[in-house]
């Protein structure tokens, strides 16, 4: 079955500390991978995406993600978080031949001052 | 550049009343359009998607319906709202390039509270 797992429902990080949000997927086809961020009461904003090529992808706001096919993972990282990064983060998987995305349940990031 | 609009931003409706939420996209043509619902504290649930005018695919059986009367307009409707219809409704679009899946871009959402 196709699925996306974000194992951490909540993560609390001190401001200035590094961050890694986990995403694991199960998908039969060659995946397209996405990370989105959602601030409270807002729509989703695309952070970065992987379609092909270099497995380390740079995104907006200083985020990056690494596609590891052998581990079926696409973890999101940031070297130093800012209070404005507090939000919910969603991982999603799709395929070239499919109009739909499979979504993770989201990880809520809390920043400690 | 492309923009996506949703209205209203917030809606409070009594149980049993009708619903109409609107989504429009500017700056592109022939987009694929999507309606999602996000219940409180939960992830995204795909409700409908459309690859062209009058073409609607339903993903979840429920009392909601969708229509696409114009190329860049996508409407979510209900004849009688249920309490369980409360949630945050998001519209999204992708560009149809003939290469299949592309990046989805989201509107600002509509918060619906059914009382």
Taking 70 as the threshold, does the pLDDT of residue B101 lie above it? no
Q: E strands within chain B?
A: 3-7, 10-13, 19-26, 31-38, 44-52, 55-58, 64-70, 73-78, 87-95, 105-106, 110-114
pLDDT band for A30, please (50, 70, 90 cuts). Answer: confident
List A residues 52-81 in contact with B (Cβ-Cβ < 8 A): none
Average confidence (pLDDT) over B19-43: 91
Give percent of chain A with pLDDT exceeding 70: 97
- The pLDDT value recorded for residue A96 is 67
- Do the chains contact at A104 and B111, CB–CB below 8 Å? no
- The pLDDT value recorded for residue B43 is 82
Is residue A13 within 8 A of residue A110, CB to CB? The reply is yes
Q: Give the SS3 label for residue A85.
A: helix
Is residue A52 within 8 A of residue A33, CB to CB? The reply is no
**Phi, psi dihedral angles at A98 (to 5 degrees):** -130, 135
Which of B43, B88, B99 lies closest to A103 in CB terms? B43
Average confidence (pLDDT) over A63-87: 96
Summarize pLDDT for A39-62 with one digit per residue, the tens.
988 999 999 999 888 899 999 999
Q: How far apart, in whole angstroms, are the C-alpha atoms of residue A89 and residue A107? A: 5
- Do the chains contact at A43 and B99, CB–CB below 8 Å? no
- Do the chains contact at A99 and B100, CB–CB below 8 Å? yes
């Amino acid at each position: 079955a196709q699925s996306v797992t974000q194992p951490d429902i909540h993560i609390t990080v001190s401001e200035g500390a590094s961050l890694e949000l986990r995403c694991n997927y199960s998908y039969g086809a060659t995946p397209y991978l996405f990370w989105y961020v959602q601030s409270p009461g807002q729509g989703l904003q695309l952070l970065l995406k992987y379609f092909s090529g270099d497995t380390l992808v740079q995104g907006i706001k200083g985020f990056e993600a690494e596609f590891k096919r052998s581990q079926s993972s696409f973890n999101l990282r940031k070297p130093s978080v800012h209070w404005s990064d507090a939000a919910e983060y969603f991982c999603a998987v799709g395929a070239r031949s499919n109009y739909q995305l499979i979504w993770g349940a989201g990880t809520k990031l809390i920043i400690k001052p | 550049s492309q923009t996506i609009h949703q209205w209203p931003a917030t809606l409070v409706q009594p149980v049993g009343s009708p619903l109409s939420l609107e989504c429009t996209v500017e700056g592109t043509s022939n987009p694929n359009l999507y309606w999602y619902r996000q219940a409180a504290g939960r992830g995204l649930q795909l409700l409908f998607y459309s690859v062209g005018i009058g073409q609607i695919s339903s993903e979840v059986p429920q009392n909601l319906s969708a229509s696409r009367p114009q190329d860049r307009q996508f409407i979510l409707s209900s004849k009688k709202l249920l309490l369980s219809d409360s949630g945050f409704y998001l519209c999204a679009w992708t560009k149809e390039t003939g290469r299949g899946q592309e990046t989805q871009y989201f509107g600002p959402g509509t918060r619906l509270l059914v009382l």
